[in-house]
């Protein structure tokens, strides 16, 4: 598939896909006319890269992890890096859960205020 189709199927901009390629995260073949062509598996790879980026993982770390993702084989160093990223994601999830609890509390207070006509209490 061409880069535009990959962008459409993944929701990632063409510019971002070019960046992924520059960073070595994504590879495609060039046609004789110079157009980029990617295999169907590139869709899953781009989605994985996006998930890692969303978790705050750098392109250098993603590049280090991708061979493990593709082959299932990891050096002790890569395994340690993976565990470190996992711990970071767990912390992010815990923080988001706390944010969700706080938001639920605000929503409940706002709903009570709306139903009773009594303004929300700060706090």
- 123 has a pLDDT exceeding 70: no
Q: Does the CA dihedral 26-27-28-33 come out positive or negative?
A: positive
Residues listed for the chain: 123
Q: For all residues of the chain together, what is the average pLDDT?
A: 91
pLDDT, tens digit, for every residue of 22-57?
999 999 898 888 888 999 999 999 999 999 999 999
Domain residue spans of the chain: 1-73, 74-122
Q: Name the phi and psi angles at 41, rounded to 5.
A: -65, -15
For the segment 71-95, the average pLDDT, to the nearest whole number, is: 91
Q: What is the DSSP letter of 1?
A: -
What is the rounded end-to-end Cα distance, in angstroms, of the chain? 54
* CATH fold of 1-73: Multidrug-efflux Transporter Regulator; Chain: A; Domain 2 (1.10.1660)
């Amino acid at each position: 598939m061409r880069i535009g189709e990959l962008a459409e199927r993944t929701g990632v901009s063409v510019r971002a896909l070019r960046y992924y390629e520059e960073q070595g995260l994504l590879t495609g073949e060039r046609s004789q006319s110079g157009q980029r062509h990617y295999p169907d598996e590139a869709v899953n790879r781009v989605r994985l890269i996006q998930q890692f980026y969303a978790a705050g993982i750098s392109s250098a770390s993603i590049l280090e992890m991708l061979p493990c993702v593709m082959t299932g084989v990891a050096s002790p160093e890569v395994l340690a890096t993976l565990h470190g990223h996992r711990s970071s994601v767990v912390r992010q999830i815990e923080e988001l859960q706390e944010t969700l609890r706080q938001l639920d509390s605000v929503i409940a207070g706002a709903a009570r205020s709306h139903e009773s006509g009594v303004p929300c209490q700060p706090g």
